[in-house]
Amino acid sequence: MPSRAAAPDLQVSSFTAQEALVCAMVLMSVADGPMSDPELAMMSRMVQDLPVFADFHSTDIETVTDTVAKLLGRTDGLDRAMAMLCDTLPMRLRETAYLLACEVCAADGDATQEELRFLQDLRIGLDLDRLIAGAIERAAKARFQVI
């Protein structure tokens, strides 16, 4: 309940593009409960390695995570976070946001029903074509296959 008390003070009205991408990863990570170590490690690796995060520091993941936690403490928090993603990200980066969410989903093994439901909501919220989303999902799954 402490997050509900802090929520009215939340003054975030927008994200930078990089913060919005991190927001998508954080939302995916908490879709099925607390953020796991493999999910956090995956987010850190992607922030360190991907060109889209060239001038973003992995230590800023915590700041975005705190903002998302405060947003989710509101009754309209998930809707507000989705609106902020759409307001911030052009279509080409919406595909990137979806890819990042899929990578986080795959980081700790099999996807839970909650994670799959969130991916569907994210795809719809980002207005992504179903075939493009399916291709992104399949690519993430292929990257995490084991022998």
Q: What is the pTM of this model?
A: 0.88
**pLDDT of residue 31 exceeding 80:** yes
Mean pLDDT of 47-61: 91
67, 70, 51: which is closest to 4 by C-alpha?
Answer: 70
As given in the structure block, the two tokens for residue 82 are: 């989705």
85, 82, 68, 77: which is closest to 29 by C-alpha?
Answer: 68
pLDDT at 8: 46
Q: How many CB atoms lie within 10 A of CB 68?
A: 25
pLDDT at 11: 55
Q: Which amino acid is at 23?
A: C
pLDDT at 138: 92
pLDDT at 13: 64
Give CA–CA dist 35/43, Å, rounded. 11
Give CA–CA dist 104/106, Å, rounded. 5
pLDDT at 110: 76
**pLDDT of residue 116 exceeding 60:** yes
pLDDT at 108: 81
pLDDT at 12: 60
What radius of gyration do the chain's Cα atoms show?
14
Mean pLDDT of 10-19: 78
75-85 tens-digit pLDDT? 998 999 999 99
